[in-house]
Structure formats: structure tokens, C-alpha cells
């Protein structure tokens, strides 16, 4: 009998991914439907050739060091700030993510949040359920239009562009910020205009964040940035919580420096600033950007294929973040 490579899966994924993996590898699945404790991860990874982890599993140098036979770290997410990629690269371990398959799904949630914040959908739903609806009224639940407004997109990668595509249908003016300006072709395709970050913040009615969390984007949006925004503007974050300074955001909302926010990600997930919960003009969702059945299945198949490419086919994983490891 041929020995099958051993793979640790830190939490159960949609079944098609599990089935594909189980055809090829010896899979150990965390039996609890809960995050794997650090201690269990360090124990579990010891004899494994691969690990499939989640965005809330911290795979740092200590975890990687514990895994002497590790040949792949496959993240079940597009963002990979939870992994010490440098430590993995040093060991020549490929790290993979799940790009592309969740772009449209995340852009849809972003647009749902823009509309929810502007049109007070959550607020209005709560009002109705509390039995407060006594009939149509001229001033009931007035929000703001999205149509014809200016959308500022911070980070014009796959997801940022997919959001722009939707905004076109709402006749929004689209402005974007990237550290390096993009080509004329891309700008033309999305009718998007390049702005400095400061100008984007000054001009936008809605600011939406689509950049990865790295050292240079930590607290990118803090005191100065909120002071540049319009008092009528909303901020939407479906990227990573720590890009926005949450304490300063609370202050900006309380002092009405901005009109509202819609957040799918938080600085200390799953913890959420208590004050954010108490403020009514916030829409808060539990990190569900990629959470459609279709997309989560595609992500599960994608991580499975990455693991199989390396451990079974002895090749390169299609979605490697650190391709240097193959040199």
C-alpha cells in the first residue's frame, strides 16, 4: 500500500472539498465545529505534510516550526495576514490562498452593505419588528440616495473593480486609490478616476475598502482620515478589521464626523467594540463576505486542488502566494 500524505484540516469545510481531498490524502479533521486551539494545532500539525487553515487560525513561526514535514499551507481565504509567509518561505513551504472565486460574492456583500447603510434597511427592519410601524409617513426612516453619488474605492484589485462594476449600474461617480496608479485601459473600463487617498476621502459619499492587511495598511483609516471625510459620508469595510482604527471610528460616529458605517470585519474578531453595537447608524455583519454556498464550495475545491498539486502530484500549487519557494 502506498502511504498517503497526511493533511490537517483545522475545521470542517463544504463536503465537495472534503470528498476530493479524501480521494488522495489521509485527512485529519478537527472534530469540533469551533476554531482549533493553538495547542491542538501545534500537536496536530507535527506529523502532517499539509495543513488547510482558516483566516482566524494564526499560523506563525512557532506553528510552522512544530511541523517538520510540512510541504504546504493552504489558506481557506483570499486574505492571508494570519500566516507568517516569511517563515514559510524560509522553509520553502508554499502558502496558497483562494483568489478569484470569491470576488463577485464579496462585491455583492459590499453593495448590500452600501445600500443597507444608506437606506437604513437593518434599522427599518428592527423598527418594524418592534411593532413601531403605524403607517406610511413623510419623514419615516429617511436615508440617503446611492444613485448619482461618489463612491471612493480604496484598493482597485479584483474585488474593488467588481464593486465598481456594480456602482456603474447605480450611476455612481467612481474614484479609486491605489499606491500606484493603474493603466488608462483599466480606468476606462470601469469609468474610474484616480485620486490621492486624501482627495478620495474628501470627495466620496461612500468609502469602501478592498486592500489586504499588511504593515503599511494597519490603521490606514484613523483620525486624520475621518476628519477629511464628508459629514454625510459612509465607510464600508469588507476587507480586514485592523485597516480601520475601530476606537477612532467610534469617536467619528459619535461626534458625527461621518454619517454611518457598515462593517463585515472587525479589529479584534470575534470581539466587536461595544460602543459600535450601541450606535444605531451602523450595519454590522459577522465576516460573511464570501459566505454563499456556491462560493464556499468553490473555495473548498480550490484548497483541495492546491494541496493535491503539491502533496500528490509533486508539482506547484496553482494559487501560490510565495512562488519563490519553487526556485
Q: Is 77 in the site for ligand GLV (CB under 6 A)?
A: yes
Catalytic residues: 240, 269, 287
Residue closer to ligand GLV by CB (options 269, 275) is 269
Q: Is 223 in the site for ligand GLV (CB under 6 A)?
A: no
Site stretch for ligand GLV (CB under 6 A), options 40-48, 77-85, 126-134, 244-252:
77-85
Residue closer to ligand GLV by CB (options 110, 252) is 110
Q: At 77, list the grid cell.
A: 481565504
Rounded Cα gap, residues 244 and 247, in angstroms: 9
| Neighbouring-strand partners of residue 260 | 234
Q: Is 158 in the site for ligand GLV (CB under 6 A)?
A: yes
Residue closer to ligand GLV by CB (options 100, 318) is 100
Site string for ligand GLV, 275-294 (x = CB under 6 A): --------------xx----
Q: At 46, list the grid cell.
A: 507535527
Site stretch for ligand GLV (CB under 6 A), options 18-26, 157-165, 270-278, 313-321:
157-165
Of residues 240-259, which lie at the interface with ligand GLV (CB under 6 A)? none
Contacts of 178 (CB under 8 A, 6+ apart): 155, 156, 194
Phi, psi of 234 (to 5 degrees): -120, 150
Instruction: Specify the pairing of strand 173-177 against strand 150-154.
Output: parallel
Of residues 176-215, which lie at the interface with ligand GLV (CB under 6 A)? none
Residue among 51, 78, 118, 200 that touches ligand GLV (CB under 6 A): 78
Residue among 27, 67, 159, 164 that touches ligand GLV (CB under 6 A): 159
Rounded Cα gap, residues 176 and 180, in angstroms: 11
Q: How far is the CB of 156 from ligand GLV (least distance, A)?
A: 9
Residue closer to ligand GLV by CB (options 290, 306) is 290
Provide the total of helices (H) and of strands (E) in the chain, helices listed first.
13, 12
Q: Is 103 in the site for ligand GLV (CB under 6 A)?
A: yes
Q: How far is the CB of 159 from ligand GLV (least distance, A)?
A: 4
Q: At 175, list the grid cell.
A: 474614484
Burial class (CB in 10 A: 0-12, 13-18, 19+), 268: exposed
Rounded Cα gap, residues 194 and 137, in angstroms: 41
CA dihedral 213, 157, 174, 168 (to 10 degrees): -130
Q: Is 102 in the site for ligand GLV (CB under 6 A)?
A: yes
Name the residues that contact ligand GLV, by CB under 6 A. Answer: 55, 77-79, 99-100, 102-103, 157-159, 289-290
Amino acid at each position: 500500500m502506498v502511504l498517503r500524505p497526511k493533511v490537517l484540516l483545522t475545521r470542517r469545510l463544504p463536503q465537495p472539498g472534503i470528498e476530493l481531498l479524501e480521494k488522495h490524502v489521509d485527512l485529519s479533521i478537527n472534530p469540533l465545529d469551533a476554531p482549533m486551539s493553538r495547542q491542538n494545532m501545534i500537536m496536530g500539525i507535527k506529523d502532517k505534510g499539509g495543513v488547510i487553515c482558516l483566516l482566524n487560525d494564526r499560523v506563525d513561526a512557532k506553528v510552522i516550526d512544530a511541523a517538520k514535514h510540512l510541504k504546504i499551507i493552504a489558506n481557506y481565504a483570499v486574505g492571508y495576514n494570519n500566516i507568517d509567509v516569511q517563515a514559510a518561505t524560509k522553509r520553502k513551504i508554499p502558502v496558497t490562498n483562494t483568489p478569484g472565486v470569491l470576488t463577485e460574492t464579496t462585491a455583492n456583500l459590499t453593495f448590500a452593505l452600501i445600500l443597507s447603510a444608506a437606506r437604513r434597511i437593518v434599522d427599518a427592519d428592527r423598527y418594524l419588528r418592534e411593532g413601531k410601524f403605524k403607517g406610511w409617513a413623510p419623514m419615516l426612516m429617511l436615508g440617503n440616495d446611492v444613485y448619482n453619488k461618489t463612491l471612493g474605492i480604496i484598493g482597485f484589485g479584483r474585488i474593488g473593480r467588481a464593486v465598481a462594476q456594480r456602482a456603474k449600474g447605480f450611476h455612481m461617480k467612481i474614484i479609486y486609490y491605489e499606491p500606484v496608479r493603474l493603466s488608462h485601459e483599466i480606468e476606462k473600463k470601469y469609468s474610474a478616476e484616480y485620486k490621492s487617498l486624501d482627495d478620495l476621502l474628501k470627495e466620496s459619499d461612500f468609502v469602501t475598502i478592498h486592500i489586504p492587511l499588511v504593515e503599511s495598511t494597519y490603521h490606514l483609516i484613523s483620525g486624520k482620515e475621518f476628519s477629511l471625510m464628508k459629514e454625510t459620508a459612509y465607510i464600508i469595510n469588507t476587507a480586514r478589521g485592523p485597516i480601520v482604527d475601530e476606537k477612532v471610528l467610534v469617536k467619528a460616529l459619535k461626534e458625527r464626523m461621518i454619517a454611518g458605517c457598515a462593517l463585515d470585519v472587525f479589529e479584534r474578531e470575534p470581539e466587536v467594540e461595544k460602543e459600535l453595537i450601541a450606535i444605531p447608524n451602523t450595519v454590522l455583519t459577522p465576516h460573511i463576505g464570501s459566505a454563499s454556498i456556491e462560493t464556499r464550495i468553490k473555495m473548498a475545491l480550490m484548497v483541495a486542488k492546491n494541496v493535491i498539486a503539491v502533496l500528490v502530484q509533486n508539482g506547484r500549487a496553482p494559487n501560490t502566494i510565495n512562488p519563490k519557494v519553487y526556485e
